[in-house]
Amino acid sequence: MAICLLIVRETRTAEVAIIAHPLVQEDSLDKKLLYNVYRGEVRSWDDGTKIKVWELGERGETRESFYDYIGIRPSRMKSLWMKQLLTGEGEPPAEAETQEEMIKNVMATPGSIGYVDKKLVGNGVKLLLLIDNKESKKPDK
């Protein structure tokens, strides 16, 4: 008797929108800059405005797709943030418990950046990048 084992790898399908406060001067960003912003290596926008990074507290497809795209596990990123905190080199991002809270916080905080499911993006935030896990797309102007 043969036993068949089928392993199915989960495919992430969420389209993730990288959003910013509407007054952020940048119109788009690339993967490297996004990674460096979340890592805390880039702390201000080109015009000198301080970047306020928001992290999504709820686990789910959007969060996993974001971290898949930038190429690091959430647990590894968190350890980098803790190292910066302990050495006095920076602070971890502020945390939004839900995607709706993320949008409200990004809208209300000058210089801020965050990520949400594309379906939730509306007026009040600037769209900097769309991630569909196949490729990234710069927003249409």
Contacts of residue 116, Cβ cutoff 8 Å, sequence gap at least 6? 16, 17, 19, 56, 62, 99, 102, 103
Whole-number pLDDT of residue 13: 62
Contact 54, 94 (CB under 8 A): yes
Alpha helices in 4-129 (DSSP H): 31-39, 61-70, 74-87, 99-108
CATH number for 16-137 (one of 3.40.190.170, 3.40.605.10, 3.40.190.10, 3.40.50.970): it is 3.40.190.10
Distances (CA, A) of 115 to 85, 88, 119: 22, 26, 12
| Residue-level pLDDT, tens digit, the chain, 141 residues | 555 443 333 444 679 999 999 999 999 999 999 999 999 999 999 999 999 999 999 789 999 999 999 998 988 888 888 888 888 888 889 999 999 999 999 999 999 999 999 999 988 999 999 998 665 444 444
- In the chain, % helix, strand, coil (3-state, to 5) comes to 35, 20, 45
Whole-number pLDDT of residue 77: 87
